[in-house]
Amino acid sequence: MPDTSGSTGRTPETHVIDFRAAEQLLNARDPRGAVKLLDPVIAAHPENTAARLLRARAFFAAAQLRPAELEFTIVLEREPDNAFAHFALARTFERRGEPEQAKRHFRLAAALDPNPRYLRAARFES
């Protein structure tokens, strides 16, 4: 039977396994390992917002702030009401020393979800 999964021999099932393994690596504080697993998943499924959000988190954890910003932005283009993505993008801007950009996204996160953590970051009273 011919291989129809592409030149890498990866299958949708393998991508799911890689996604789950990347979650575990990120939880084990290996963000670079997580990114390596997620790159082929996203190459095969660029529309997969969950994979992009996980890769954004991994980039952030690895202090790769420009790639993190790009991924969080892509997630927000697709899901503008994703409070966590706004919060995480705000943290990215905060780490880069861009307080006005950070404030905007902290406030959007808090407006979308009254999570006490988001409210504190937005400097709204809880």
Q: Please give the share of the chain, as a percent, with pLDDT higher than 90.
A: 87
- What is the rounded radius of gyration, in angstroms, for the C-alpha atoms of the chain? 16
Span 114-122, average pLDDT? 95
* Cβ atoms 50, 19 nearer than 8 A: yes
DSSP 123: T
Cβ within 8 Å of residue 67, ≥6 positions away: 56, 59
Question: Taking 60 as the threshold, does the pLDDT of residue 4 lie above it?
Answer: no
* Cβ atoms 87, 60 nearer than 8 A: no
pLDDT at 7: 41
User: How does residue 43 score in pLDDT terms, banded at 50, 70 and 90?
Assistant: very high
What's the first-to-final CA gap in the chain, in angstroms? 61
pTM of the model: 0.88
User: Minimal CA–CA distance to 71: which of 56, 81, 82?
Assistant: 56
Hey, what are 79's tokens?
């899901």
By the 10 Å C-beta count (0-12 exposed, 13-18 middle, 19+ buried), 22 is classed as buried
pLDDT at 10: 77
Number of residues written out for the chain: 126
| pLDDT tens readout for residues 75-99 | 999 999 999 999 999 999 999 999 9
